[in-house]
Structure 1
Amino acid sequence: MINVGFYYKVKRGFEKDFEDKFREILSYLRANADGFIDAKLYKSVDEPSEYLIYSVWRDLDSFKKFISTDAYRSTVNYGKSIIENRPTHRILQEING
């Protein structure tokens, strides 16, 4: 299992748009992305325009397959209009034992 953390700084005034888009994408992933397990959206307590999307995937291949889809590219292109700077992400692998 892998976990992916996406870190975003949203332009002021676009926080609701970002949150709505997250819910839309989450629904899409649950219905269409093989290997997707779950995702949660977190908002910074100190900086309300900073977010973390924490997602869980069966394996790295499932995540890589999703980020090569048109749906992912479309979301990234939309995000460019409401996100400051380039988002960062970290991919972590669960270690058992």
Structure 2
Amino acid sequence: MADISIVQDHSLTPEKARDAAQQVADKISREFDLACKWEGDVLRFERSGVNGSLTLRGQQARMQITLGFLMGAFAPTIRAKVAEKMQKVFCAA
């Protein structure tokens, strides 16, 4: 198993940060076929071999992803794509 942790600072309001988090979720859910749902300020996502969360705290968004054995081989690529998407949507404002 592989774990990915990405922290993205931002200066968005809570509402805009949630919108940005939803944009990240929409993109990664399409690309990686993930099911996503909000639990307060935490967006949880999963599929076979992948689970994780995107947590909004103040001026920071924290993505935690756990990849199963087969998906672990793609960890560097997944990390790069997700980090790029987070930077784009959280720093766009």
Taking structure 2 as the reference length, what is the TM-score of the superposition?
0.56
Structure showing greater radius of gyration is 1
For residues 28-61 of structure 1, the C-alpha deviation after alignment (integer angstroms, 9 at most, x for no partner) is 25428xx8511211122xxx12121100112442
Cross-structure match for 1:55: 65
Identity %, equivalent residues: 7
Report the counterpart of residue 94 of structure 1 in structure 2: none
Partner of 1:6: 6
Aligned to 1:42: 55
List, as ranges, runs of 4+ consecutive aligned residues in structure 1 with deviation greater than 6 Å. none
The alpha-carbon deviation at position 11 of structure 1 amounts to 2.4
Asked whether the 8 Å contact 1:10–1:18 carries over to 2, the reply is no
- Per-residue deviation, 1:62: 1.8
Q: Say which structure is richer in helix.
A: 2
Does 1:64 find its partner at 2:76? yes
**Residue deviations 1:56-82, cap 9 Å, x none?**
1124422224356xxx38x72673363
Q: Is 2:84 the counterpart of 1:76? A: yes
RMSD: 3.3
- TM-score of the superposed pair, with normalisation by structure 1: 0.54
Q: Shift of the alpha carbon at 1:4?
A: 0.6
What is the number of equivalent residue pairs in this alignment?
A: 75
